[in-house]
């Protein structure tokens, strides 16, 4: 469920036997529901900060037969990025008998959008209780991962496409051998990219060009790709491919992506070597799959405090001793490697590498941010600088700053 996960936990309570006058009440019910950010439930809240990581609903139930299904449905009533009363997620578990308490939680690694929310609690498919809360305030976290592009649909947030990752092949809808340069005569090039908040009817268009001359145009939509599903996923990745039956000539192959005709993303790769016979491109349709890692934007700063940027800027004075770069990520796993290459002009001055296993230290996160820094013992000389972030050796995003 990407960076947002709903979960549940039951607790058993041993009950003593007894007797009393009158008929026993046997209607299954929720006797208490506490909304809090404290797992122990010591402080009940109705208003939370956007930076709250996990919100809990701690419940007590009574007269519930053993094996009854209890479900919590998390709903955004009015919140940015969601349609009114949109279901965010749900979790269910078996309760009843001597299981008289249940804990539900919803965890986000990105900020909660301001707005009103509710959690509907069901016992055996019957609504038993509704808990409500609000999120208010300003987040102190870096901005969202992927910049918005294209028109804003009336029914939801703006659609977004992530950086294009080129590869020599695909396996189970994932890239095989990503690269930024192909050998002359290559017979197929694949392009993978994340999507977020596409509507079912949105059209994604891919235009392939080589050395400025258009070769091929492809179009698709989530409704077409996920025709067997009632509701297409909000996030994931797609891929297009172009084939060259006679092998591709040397040159630069470019791909322009658009959403409903509005430019959304672009990328290019180099096909090297001497001239080869003319290419006859063929189309490969995009295929759905799990989300690829994505990055961005890069934020440069004069320093850092508690892993946050201090003194953001893209222009620094000559003689500055250090420049810091912060970049959001989504979808990285412990086995992934992220590298940073710093350039002054066209000269590479520093390479850095981090293994996400060392960053996560046993606690993987769907979203977060990394930071790199470059130091200048004698102060930075004037000039133009560039930072390229690479994922498993393939360029993913770059940014630039000046010293003058």
Spans of all domains in the chain: 4-135, 160-284, 294-403
Q: Can you tell me the distance from the alpha carbon of 351 to that of 344, in angstroms, rounded to the nearest whole number?
A: 12
Cα angle at 285 between 284 and 291, to 5 degrees? 115
Is the predicted pLDDT of residue 16 greater than 70, yes or no? Answer: no
CATH 2.60.40.10 fits 160-284, yes or no: yes
**pLDDT tens for residues 184-198?**
899 999 988 877 777
Question: What number of other Cβ atoms are within 10 A of residue 15's Cβ?
Answer: 9
Q: Can you tell me the distance from the alpha carbon of 81 to that of 173, in angstroms, rounded to the nearest whole number?
A: 28
The torsion angles phi and psi of 292, rounded to 5 degrees, stand at -80, 155
pLDDT at 77: 95
Q: What's the maximum distance between 2 C-alpha atoms anywhere in the chain?
A: 96
Q: Can you tell me the distance from the alpha carbon of 327 to that of 143, in angstroms, rounded to the nearest whole number?
A: 10
Q: Where are the beta strands (DSSP E) in 109-155?
A: 115-123, 126-135
Q: Can you tell me the distance from the alpha carbon of 298 to that of 327, in angstroms, rounded to the nearest whole number?
A: 5
Q: Can you tell me the distance from the alpha carbon of 255 to that of 161, in angstroms, rounded to the nearest whole number?
A: 13
- Looking at residue 223, the DSSP 8-state letter turns out to be H
Of the two residues 12 and 118, the one the predictor is more confident about is: 118
CATH of domain 4-135: 2.60.40.1930
**4-135 and 294-403 share one fold:** yes
pLDDT at 138: 78
Q: Can you tell me the distance from the alpha carbon of 366 to that of 329, in angstroms, rounded to the nearest whole number?
A: 8
Burial pattern 31-67, b for ≥16 Cβ within 10 A else e, equals eebbbbeeeebeeeeeebbbebeebbbbbebeebeee
Is the predicted pLDDT of residue 393 greater than 70, yes or no? Answer: yes
Is the predicted pLDDT of residue 280 greater than 60, yes or no? Answer: no
pLDDT at 196: 73
pLDDT at 158: 60
Q: Can you tell me the distance from the alpha carbon of 319 to that of 379, in angstroms, rounded to the nearest whole number?
A: 4
Q: Can you tell me the distance from the alpha carbon of 115 to that of 112, in angstroms, rounded to the nearest whole number?
A: 9
Q: What residues pair up with 73 in beta bridges, in sequence order? A: 90, 120
Please state whether the predicted TM-score (pTM) of the whole model is above 0.75: no
Is the predicted pLDDT of residue 399 greater than 50, yes or no? Answer: yes
CATH of domain 294-403: 2.60.40.10
> What token pair was written down for 403?
């010293």
Tokens 């405090």 sit on residue:
305
Q: Can you tell me the distance from the alpha carbon of 27 to that of 17, in angstroms, rounded to the nearest whole number?
A: 19
* Average pLDDT over every residue of 70-87: 89
Of the two residues 181 and 215, the one the predictor is more confident about is: 215
Of 158, 302, 182, the closest CA to residue 250 belongs to 182
Is the predicted pLDDT of residue 39 greater than 90, yes or no? Answer: no
Peptide bond into 136 cis (omega under 30): no
**Summary mean pLDDT of the chain:** 78
Q: Can you tell me the distance from the alpha carbon of 337 to that of 354, in angstroms, rounded to the nearest whole number?
A: 6
Percentage of residues in the chain having pLDDT higher than 90: 22
Element spanning 224, H or E: helix 222-225
């Amino acid at each position: 469920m990407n960076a947002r996960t709903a979960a549940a936990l039951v607790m058993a309570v041993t009950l003593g036997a007894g007797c009393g006058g009158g008929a026993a009440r046997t209607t299954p019910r929720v006797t208490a529901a506490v909304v809090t950010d404290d797992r122990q439930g010591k402080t009940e809240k109705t208003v939370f900060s956007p930076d709250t990581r996990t919100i809990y609903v701690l419940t007590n139930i009574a007269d519930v037969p053993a094996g009854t299904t209890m479900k919590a449905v998390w709903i955004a009533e009015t919140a940015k990025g969601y349609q009114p009363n949109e279901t965010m997620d749900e979790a269910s578990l078996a309760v009843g008998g001597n299981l008289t308490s249940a804990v539900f939680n919803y965890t986000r690694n990105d900020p909660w959008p301001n707005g009103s929310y509710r959690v509907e609690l069901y016992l055996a498919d019957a609504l038993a209780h509704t808990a409500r809360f609000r999120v208010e305030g300003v987040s102190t976290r870096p901005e969202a991962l992927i910049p918005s592009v294209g028109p804003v649909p009336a029914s939801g947030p703006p659609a977004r496409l992530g950086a294009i990752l080129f590869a020599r092949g695909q396996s189970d809808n994932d890239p095989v051998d990503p690269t930024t340069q192909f050998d002359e005569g290559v017979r197929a090039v694949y392009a993978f990219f994340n999507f977020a908040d596409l509507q079912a009817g949105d059209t994604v268009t891919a235009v392939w060009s080589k050395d400025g001359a258009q070769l091929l145009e492809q179009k698709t939509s989530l409704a077409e790709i996920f025709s067997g599903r009632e509701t297409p996923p909000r996030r994931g990745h797609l891929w297009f491919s172009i084939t060259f039956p006679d092998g591709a000539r040397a040159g630069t192959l470019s791909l322009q992506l658009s959403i409903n005709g509005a430019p959304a993303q672009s990328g290019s790769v180099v096909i090297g070597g001497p001239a080869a016979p003319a290419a006859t491109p063929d189309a490969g349709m995009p295929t759905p799959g799990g989300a690829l890692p994505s990055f961005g934007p890069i934020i440069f700063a004069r320093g850092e405090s508690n892993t946050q940027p201090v003194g953001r800027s893209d222009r620094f004075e000559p003689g500055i001793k250090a420049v810091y770069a912060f970049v959001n990520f989504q979808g990285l796993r412990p086995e992934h490697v992220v590298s940073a290459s710093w350039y002054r002009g066209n000269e590479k001055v520093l390479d850095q590498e981090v293994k996400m296993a060392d960053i996560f230290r046993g606690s993987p996160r769907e979203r977060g941010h990394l930071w790199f820094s470059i130091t200048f013992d004698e102060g930075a000389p004037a000039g133009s600088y560039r930072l390229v972030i690479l994922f498993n050796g393939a360029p993913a995003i770059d940014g630039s700053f000046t010293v003058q």
